[in-house]
Amino acid sequence: MPTIRISEYTVLQIVGLDAAVLLNFYKMAFSLFSVCSLFAVVVLMPINLKHNIDIGDGRDDDDEETLRSLITANGTSPAIPGHDWLDLINDANSYLTMHLLFTYLFTSITLYFIHRNYKKFVRARQLFSLELVHSISARTVMVAQLPPQLRNERALAEYFEAMDMSVESVSVCREVESLKELLDERTAALLKLERAWVHYLGNPSHAVEADSIEQPLIDVENSRPEDAERQRLVMPNRKRPTLRPHFFGSKVDALRHLEEKFKEADLAVLRRRLTGKFKPTHAAFVTFEKMSSAQIAVQVVYAPAPAQCRTYLAPEPRDIIWANMTLAPGSALARDWLVIGAMLLLLFFWVIPVTALAGLLSYKEIKKTWPALARLIDANAQIGVIVQNSLPSVAVITLNACLPFLLESLTYIQGYKARSWIEYSLLKKYFLFLLTNVVFIFLFASTYWQLVRDLANSPAKIPEKLAAALQQGNARHFFVSYVILQGIGLMPLQLLNLGVIIPRIIFRMFVTRTPRDFAELNAPPMINYGAVYPQGILIFVITLLYSVVQPLIVIFGAIYFGIAYVVYKYKLLFVFYKPYESQGQAWPITFTRLIWGIIIYLVFMSGIFILRKSYVLSTLLIPLLGFTLLWAWYTDKKFKSLSKYVSLSSIFEVQKGASTAEVTRLRAGHPVTWSQSYLNHRRYAQNDDTLYVAPEDERTDYSQPPMANWYPGVLNTGKRRYGHPALNGVLPQPWLPLKKGQTLRNGPPAAPGASSTDTTPAVVLTLRKRRSVARTIPTRSQTEPVPRTMDDATANPWQDAPSERPRHLTHRLSFDHASGVIMLPEDGAWLDEETDSDEEDSTVQNVQALRVAEEIGQHDAEQPTETSALQASSSGRRYGTYYHHPERRKRTDSRVLSG
């Protein structure tokens, strides 16, 4: 398959380090369990087959006392007729010495593969960071708990400059609650206006081109004399909608009324931005001129007072949750304790249904609590197999599928400052829940209260009770069924993207109406690593846990990770869209959880030997357990710093303009096309235009960037600077539907030489408009395209853009059919040189200031003082990014691309 043949370096360049780390985890687990499967098939299964050939199924696997009574003093079980061939090759009741050797072997192989993958991750992270050494996020640190005297851009820049660290820019976070309320009102008015236009015009518009009106008509119904002077657009054979602004008021034109409401809200936001005062908070972002300064800044202590001026590696601007940047440290701590309490309650109540499902593994429990089902099982053996093997697995997977939504909601309450931090906190919580509910509760096929009582009465017997529960036949069959269902049943279904398609169909039928709704609905889904990793880690732990007592499971474990590697490699390359990177920080978290799994595995095997009265063999596992703990501590200490920071020697070498020998060697071994490399560089460049693919749709023209999932009421323009979007972000404008039959395909002209058979229904979208207002200061009419605020009442909403200023909103994709990789034009001519996004926003803000001044001058000519003040403020920026040395500003885009 072309997907499999794509090299790891290509994946790293196209979709980033986070995706490469996930794929390397799946690949590592697949290789590990493939090797273990070889040993299990060649050695372990034949031994079990030879020494269990006469063993039957005469005992009750669910009765722990019966199990113990069948075990003889020498650690072997008597022959009882009736076992099937699966039990013959899987039962681990003989040659305990061999099982001890396999425990050492599988543990050693697991530690080797984990160490190799950790080493591989550190190398990839260093190389990936060196590729982006001049990017803004790599040169930026987040400073928290600033003292009052440093809550100023200039003061904070001088503070770091005094320590011989050259500062490029500073952005202090400010309290914007009053502005956020106005933004919410503006957004609500905007959405109401767009829905009203769609209700009137339809989407796509029901009017054909022949019905377009050259001279707008006047709807005189319920019109007032002053309205007669303003012409209004009227569709033929359809009345303009009306509404009552007040309960007892007269009807007015709905479109004009909503337009006025939007204009008022828009003016209030612009006025507040330009004249409001926003209190600085304890958090700020400092961008240095060199990455080496940022790496040094996050590893030293600045203030003599504890917990003051704490520095962190800054998340990318698109990764930041700006609403949480102003949370006080005390508030964040209180939220943490609140969420911990809520998690304990959720865990307590979640155990009840899981324990009830665990009861289906025991025929005695079914007979006691559900006699009718027991009689049905007695009447039909196939029903018994389904109920005791398949049904618990399906029910547990379905129940646990609801956990990520609940846990993610709790994690948002904690107030994390970055979306990636929320994902990794969800990873920790979700895995803890899965490990507790799926493994431990099902190991003890008993009620929750009985489990607590037994462990409280005899805590020293936990390994023995763990082993007794694991040894039960139905529990072993359940976990094999669980791994088979996850690997062969559910993992391939993820290629269908049912979790994305079904909700979108529902939204498209009942919720989505406006062009903005369709544009945001058609955006590609974003992968949530916090919900993906826990399932893989759980399968890893279960497979390792049963690798000796149920050797058949390692084969299905290898199949699961092999299929998962192919499925997620395809989805990461062609389906998912991730606008930000976290530098692969999921792997150190995964490493810790894998060590947990190894420790549980060794404790379980120790209990197995104790249960079979082999105390010497159980004692021989203690050195292996101690070595594993010591190895984990040493490995974490050795790699932790390199997994978080970048080597200074390599940074200085790259900053001088030279590539390290390792980077050159890696590039030579994994050639990447110019377009693939350029796509990755542009994602981190200073004036980036992040790209994603969306289907062509006659209901939207993608003329504005998305507004959802970033900051409420502000367009996601792919900013690289750390300015608060409420203060500096681009505001959305009214968005009308297209003409009927008009799509993006018959918008821009076809490229010369393009094939007429090219019908690829795909559009490359940018998060920033191509034509920058920074290059051309537009007039008022140019800054308000129809139907922005609808000041020009005679404007036709279907009128084509003037031919002398075409707006090319999209660009055609090309595909590499050999690898399936989306390609960009090799010459890069379609990428215009643009100014810094912050400069562009500055010009936008200046234009908006002139708009506010003009509006106030028109509506309130008696207040020239305020108007002149606004005009004065338009010449300078307020609460934007502060540049400490404007004359030394970097051209990051050129440096990155030259690297």
- What pLDDT sits at residue 784? 36
- CA 868, CA 870: separation in Å to the nearest integer? 5
* Whether pLDDT at 872 is above 50: no
* Whether pLDDT at 170 is above 90: yes
Lowest mean pLDDT among 320-334, 367-381, 549-563: 367-381
13 band by pLDDT with thresholds 50, 70 and 90? confident
79 band by pLDDT with thresholds 50, 70 and 90? very low
Q: What is the mean pLDDT of residues 588-592?
A: 96
Q: What is the mean pLDDT of residues 442-471?
A: 56
Q: Which amino acid is at 15?
A: V
716 band by pLDDT with thresholds 50, 70 and 90? confident
* Whether pLDDT at 769 is above 50: no
At 17-57, the pLDDT tens digits run 999 999 999 999 999 999 999 999 998 888 777 666 543 34
Lowest mean pLDDT among 27-41, 470-484, 623-637, 885-899: 885-899
Can you say whether residue 695 is alpha, beta or left, with left for phi > 0 and alpha for psi between -120 and 50 degrees?
A: beta
* 8 A C-beta contact, residue 709 and residue 692: no
Q: Take residue 752 and report the two structure tokens written for it.
A: 């010369």
DSSP one-letter string for 1-30: -HHHHS-HHHHHHHH-HHHHHHHHHHHHHH
Lowest mean pLDDT among 425-429, 569-573, 622-626, 887-891: 887-891
- CA 518, CA 514: separation in Å to the nearest integer? 6
* Whether pLDDT at 868 is above 50: no
At 432-449, the pLDDT tens digits run 999 988 887 766 544 344
Closest CA to 253 of 302, 207, 197: 197
* Whether pLDDT at 108 is above 70: yes
* 8 A C-beta contact, residue 689 and residue 284: no
Q: What is the mean pLDDT of residues 312-339?
A: 91
To the nearest whole percent, how much of the chain has pLDDT over 90?
A: 38
Q: What is the mean pLDDT of residues 850-856?
A: 58
Closest CA to 420 of 582, 285, 583, 535: 582
- CA 796, CA 193: separation in Å to the nearest integer? 17
What ranges do the domains of the chain cover?
2-131+327-649, 179-207+214-275
- CA 875, CA 229: separation in Å to the nearest integer? 36
DSSP one-letter string for 753-815: T--TT-----EEEESS-SS-TTTS---HHHHS-TTSS--STT--TTPPPPTTS-----B--EE
Q: What is the mean pLDDT of residues 285-300?
A: 94
Q: How long, in residues, is the chain?
A: 899
* 8 A C-beta contact, residue 516 and residue 707: yes
Q: Take residue 725 and report the two structure tokens written for it.
A: 């979007």
468 band by pLDDT with thresholds 50, 70 and 90? low
- CA 77, CA 198: separation in Å to the nearest integer? 76
DSSP for residue 56:
B
* Whether pLDDT at 333 is above 70: yes
* 8 A C-beta contact, residue 689 and residue 767: yes
- What pLDDT sits at residue 249? 81
* 8 A C-beta contact, residue 358 and residue 474: no
To the nearest whole percent, how much of the chain has pLDDT over 70?
A: 65
DSSP for residue 133:
T
Lowest mean pLDDT among 371-380, 689-698, 699-708: 689-698
Lowest mean pLDDT among 136-150, 184-198, 301-315, 627-641: 301-315
Can you tell me whether residue 107 is helix, strand or coil? helix
- What pLDDT sits at residue 46? 83
Closest CA to 608 of 548, 667, 679: 548
**Residue 39: φ, ψ to 5°:** -65, -40
Lowest mean pLDDT among 43-57, 276-290, 710-724, 774-788: 774-788
- What pLDDT sits at residue 425? 96
* Whether pLDDT at 195 is above 70: yes
* Whether pLDDT at 551 is above 70: yes
Give 205 or 309, the one with higher predicted confidence: 309
